[in-house]
């Protein structure tokens, strides 16, 4: 039924996101930025700082 399908999609999406994070953590030079408690503007500023820093290295 619809509700079961919806819950399965949510569960599988969360599991996929966890696998992505695990993969990214193993990548050299990868920086994970937690933006869950930030506004879009704050997140964009933080990403820009990391990006500029990476370009200057």
Task: Give residue-wise pLDDT tens across range 20-56.
Answer: 999 999 999 888 888 889 999 999 999 999 999 989 9
Is 90 exceeded by the pLDDT of residue 14? yes
Going by C-alpha positions, the residue among 52, 51, 19, 14 that lies closest to residue 33 is 51
Q: Provide the pLDDT for residue 39.
A: 94
């Amino acid at each position: 039924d619809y509700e079961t399908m919806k819950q399965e999609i949510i569960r599988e999406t969360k599991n996929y996101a966890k696998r992505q994070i695990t993969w990214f953590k193993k990548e050299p030079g990868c920086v994970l930025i937690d933006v869950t408690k930030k506004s879009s503007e704050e997140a964009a500023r933080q990403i820009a700082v990391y990006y500029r820093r990476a370009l200057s290295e």
